[in-house]
Amino acid sequence: MTDHRIATPEEWQAEREKLLAEEKELTHRGDELTNRRQALPWVPVEEDYAFETSEGTKSLADLFAGRSQLMIYHFMFGPPYEAGCTVCSSIADNINANAPHLNAGDVTVLVVSRAPLDRLQAYKERMGWDNLDWVSTVGDDFNRELGFLHTEEELKPFLESGQIPPAVEKMAELSGTDVKGYVTEGPGLSVYTLSDGTIYRTYVTTARGLEGPAMGYYGLLDRTPKGRQEGADEPIWLRRHDEY
């Protein structure tokens, strides 16, 4: 016998209607934030970044591929990794599925990491991400200046705390690296526009800011009785899609 609260259909409908009103309020609030997000000022990108691609070395401007907008996912796949971050892989699954629609909306979307290009391309083939280009940064400045690459000194308090979360240890293991190698990298999304020959950065987010745009499965799980099942005492269930 379940210990969850049980109701009649009429009782359920009454509570559902109250919740629906609040969900609609949240949707309208989301619309407001979208308008504010798009109204953010643009920042000129003056650095001369370079990237290794399957077609040779390219500039940031080259990555737009003829479109006026560029969306980049900063994928945690550092030089010591043997495989891409498991969480980032779930995000790339979502981005890959949506890439054709983004392209149609005048947005080029791609993935950037610091690992060597041949390792990135091999992992991309394994994952079957046919809609995504994946490029390797030349140097560390691109990720570092956005806060997606951390120094040993910055990580020292965390690494020496003696309180490394089991989830971090597990994710490092699944990526074939140690905790230090894993958390040196950081995930993120950065967006750019190309206007009159000038590149502008328009938006950056990381951490839980990635849930809405790039982790669709969370929104679906949030609507199930058990939810995300990510409590501190629950086993880590997330895996790459070919490992379930």
- Taking only the tens place, the pLDDT of each residue in 123-152 is 999 999 999 999 999 999 999 999 999 999
What residue ranges do the domains of the chain occupy? Answer: 43-221
User: CB–CB of 197/177 below 8 Å?
Assistant: no
pLDDT tens profile 33-67: 999 999 999 999 999 999 999 999 999 999 999 99
CA distance linking residue 187 with residue 185, whole number of Å: 7
The three-class DSSP label of residue 205 is strand
**CATH class of the domain comprising 43-221:** alpha beta
pTM of the predicted model, to two decimals? Answer: 0.95
Q: Residue written as tokens 């005492």?
A: 233
CA distance linking residue 82 with residue 178, whole number of Å: 11
Q: Are strands 198-205 and 43-44 parallel, antiparallel or unpaired?
A: antiparallel
- Take residue 184 and report the two structure tokens written for it: 């040196």
Give the containing element (helix H, strand E) for 44. Answer: strand 43-44
